Structure 1
């Protein structure tokens, strides 16, 4: 994965020297003690990156196994020796993929440093770098076999550039009815019904859809689990909207909740 990384200032290759990544032009990026590297040059706008509280909620929720069916499908779709997870979060899904690919390495990219502190430790074959996915990635061209993208920003141009010819993009998005019971009960942000159509349109120029799979089921969420699943996503930035925070705090009962995921696999066209 080190060979796949590039200096985010000049685009040159980097080497690990001591506790820093350095390029030939002497640009240097210190490794954090938690094992990740921050390649950003500026702070991100407020409300863009997941906060420490959001990351903790996600780690606890995913560890309970509620989204395990999605992780299993992603592991079945990913292939090759290098998997780049664009929007890796805590590294939960990338770790499951690497468990299924014993010879592969993973590169976790995310704009949230708190998330990558966990991702760097999620699996011994993960390397983690803080980066804004909307900017050109500090990754070489044609180096990845699979790009993983789970509920994260989709930069189609960079997907195409970093993948080798014939490589695959595996995109996970919420399916129809995902968390619908909670959306109605708590008045959560709308997921939208045309995600698959918009996804296909976004990737139409450089990719061919090869397979689309649906997975999920019904899970029983206790009050703390409900709070975690809400607080780990974009609704966490809107707790004061219409009293959402108060409604979450008042929960006392277990709720049956639908989980629904759409996993779309695309092949990179020349």
Structure 2
């Protein structure tokens, strides 16, 4: 099982602590008897009660994201996120009662798990400045299709199908770092689960992101004043510490342009036949500018 990660979990039904149950090592049980069995692919489904109003990523969207990220196009972004998150894991604060010792990271909206993988590799022995840091990892996403990929990529993490807009199944003050890469942000819950001195690391697109292909492929544009809305959504719970802008100039094959369009929020609504037709007409390589901002926040006292 995942004893370090499980020590931070709460039952999504009664909010009691969870622990391994049964002899298989694939069941989580709380003192009230609520039980959760791991799916064959290794993740746990913690969705309970009324479902979210948000639509989970479909299988083809997740497959497109997995193939695009596995090709390494956004690897510099993953490395940059890991570089900003790792120092907070190297010197974790004193664990809260019952939450277990050591460093813990929550990847909220983990998707296929690639960004969490980069952080776990960085903190593993031989991984870099924070190498050898024991890290308990929790990957959380609303899409079971994404969690199937994430559980395989990050078997040392506990991977949960869960809704970020519901109370998170994580104990108060149990987490040193919350990572949010192109995912929804529940400021109150992130502040609750972070320990004093913890860090929230958020990735958002900047103006001009994917501008060369966004319009013709039907991708969603960058909303005006996005930074102001990010700050407003976190105000009252977090203060900004630092930010890093990262620009990637990519040369994408036609298939990767199609994956880029399909893997994001627009993938829920794209006309697949029209996208295929457009992709088939593209040149062998298309120049695409990826523009990111990584912002680090700390909880307010």
TM-score using structure 1 length: 0.94
Q: Which residue pairs with 2:111 in the alignment?
A: 89
2:249 corresponds to 1:218: yes
In structure 1, which of residues 224, 228, 242 is the aligned counterpart of residue 259 of structure 2?
A: 228
Q: Distance in 1 between matches of 2:61 and 2:184?
A: 17
In structure 1, which of residues 162, 168, 183 is the aligned counterpart of residue 199 of structure 2?
A: 168
In structure 2, which of residues 54, 61, 65 is the aligned counterpart of residue 54 of structure 1?
A: 61
Q: Distance in 1 between matches of 2:298 and 2:53?
A: 35
Cα displacement (A) at 1:125: 2.5
Gap change, CA 1:47 and 1:110, over 3 Å in 2:
same
Once the two structures are superposed, residues 143-177 of structure 1 have per-residue CA deviations (whole angstroms, 9 ceiling, x without a partner) of 00000000001100011000001110000011221
List runs of 5+ in structure 2 lacking aligned partners: 90-102, 125-133
Q: Distance in 2 between matches of 1:121 and 1:115?
A: 10
Cα displacement (A) at 1:195: 1.6
The answer to whether the 8 Å contact 2:137/2:157 transfers is yes
Q: Distance in 1 between matches of 2:279 and 2:52?
A: 26
The answer to whether the 8 Å contact 1:238/1:244 transfers is no
Q: Distance in 2 between matches of 1:50 and 1:198?
A: 24
Q: Which residue pairs with 2:7 in the alignment?
A: 3
Q: Distance in 2 between matches of 1:252 and 1:217?
A: 20
The answer to whether the 8 Å contact 2:258/2:276 transfers is no
The answer to whether the 8 Å contact 1:166/1:269 transfers is no
Q: Distance in 2 between matches of 1:64 and 1:216?
A: 18
Q: How does 1:67-216 map to 2 (within 5 A)?
A: 67-78=74-85, 79-80=88-89, 81-102=103-124, 103-216=134-247
Please provide the CA RMSD for this pair.
1.9
Q: Distance in 1 between matches of 2:63 and 2:155?
A: 21
The answer to whether the 8 Å contact 1:67/1:216 transfers is no
TM-score using structure 2 length: 0.85
Gap change, CA 1:170 and 1:228, over 3 Å in 2:
same
What SS does the aligned partner of 2:6 have? coil
What SS does the aligned partner of 2:158 have? strand
Once the two structures are superposed, residues 194-219 of structure 1 have per-residue CA deviations (whole angstroms, 9 ceiling, x without a partner) of 22111111112111111000112210
Gap change, CA 1:43 and 1:11, over 3 Å in 2:
closer
Cα displacement (A) at 1:193: 3.0
